[in-house]
A and B are shown apart, each in its own frame.
Chain A
Amino acid sequence: MTIRDMVRILSARVLIGEEKLDTPVYTACCSDLMSDVLAFVDEKTVLITGLTNPHVVRTSEMLDLKCLVFARGKIPTEDILESAEEQGLVVISTKLTAFSTCGMLYEAGLRGVPVPVEWDSKEEK
């Protein structure tokens, strides 16, 4: 699907990047923990989050993410949007909760960023 499809599915509002809505997307991740995102995301993906601080945009910049989705209708401040614009990120906001956002996108064919699912035998119980 494209970001335009995501906007339609989520009844989202496009905050930044109207001209890039035809960018294709294949995977997404959802987290409020930027360290977590920095630890397992290794592809140009979509981040769904409820946090609207500058570090969400900076994390996206470090990882070259394609699109940021703010759940629960959150809208970051103007300066945060400006830095998102500078780096060419698409930013959208949906009224849906993070859970429903993920669910609807998954149902429409988007998948999670691949992570290993097997437990390492050395890992503590």
Chain B
Amino acid sequence: MEELFSTTYPVAQADYVTAGKASADIKRRLKQLGVGGDVLRRVAVASYEVELNLVIHSLGGELTLTVFPDAVQLVSADVGPGIRDLAMAMREGYSTANEEARSLGFGAGMGLPNMKRNADEFDIQSEYGKGTTITMRFRLS
């Protein structure tokens, strides 16, 4: 279906101070477009977790928001390092986060399962040595 709006946010590795700004902006834009309630909250939560993962675990990447008439799509794509054991990474409680991430209240290993729970469609592709791409869709009804 034809897209109504699309924007991409670069997300830098280990930039803990501005981490979350893209998600805050995504939430604001969706609100302006009239998206609210439960869908807005689910997009916001998933977006924040996926953005933090780019900061904490990736070598850098970008987050793209695309709005369709019937859905919101978030795509996180990074340039590495990729996930060695995807099944493990999807498990609640599994985390390789460092001390700094933990001191900020992240690194509980709940991000990926929480994204999956909040999105209507969740897809993760990862190749170790290359990078990770996560696509999430949220239906607007």
Contact = CB atoms under 8 A, between A and B. Distances in A.
Interface of A: 31-39, 42, 51, 53-56, 58-59, 61-64
What is the interface of chain B mostly: helix, strand, loop, or mixed?
A: helix
Interface residues of B, number: 25
Ranked 7 nearest A-B pairs via Cβ: A34-B105, A58-B20, A35-B108, A62-B44, A35-B110, A39-B114, A62-B48
Contacts of A64: 41
Contacts of A62: 20, 23-24, 27, 41, 44-45, 47-48
B115 to A, nearest CB: 10
B108 A33 contact: yes
Given A35-B49, A62-B27, A54 B20 contact: yes
B107 interface: yes
Contacts of B87: none
Contacts, number: 64
What is the interface of chain A mostly: helix, strand, loop, or mixed?
A: helix
Most buried by B among A39, A42, A56, A62: A62
Contacts of B107: 35
A42 B41 contact: yes
B42 to A, nearest CB: 9
Nearest to B109: A35
21 contacts: A31-B105, A32-B105, A35-B49, A35-B107, A35-B108, A35-B109, A35-B111, A35-B114, A36-B110, A38-B48, A38-B110, A42-B41, A54-B17, A54-B20, A55-B19, A55-B20, A55-B104, A56-B105, A61-B24, A62-B20, A62-B23
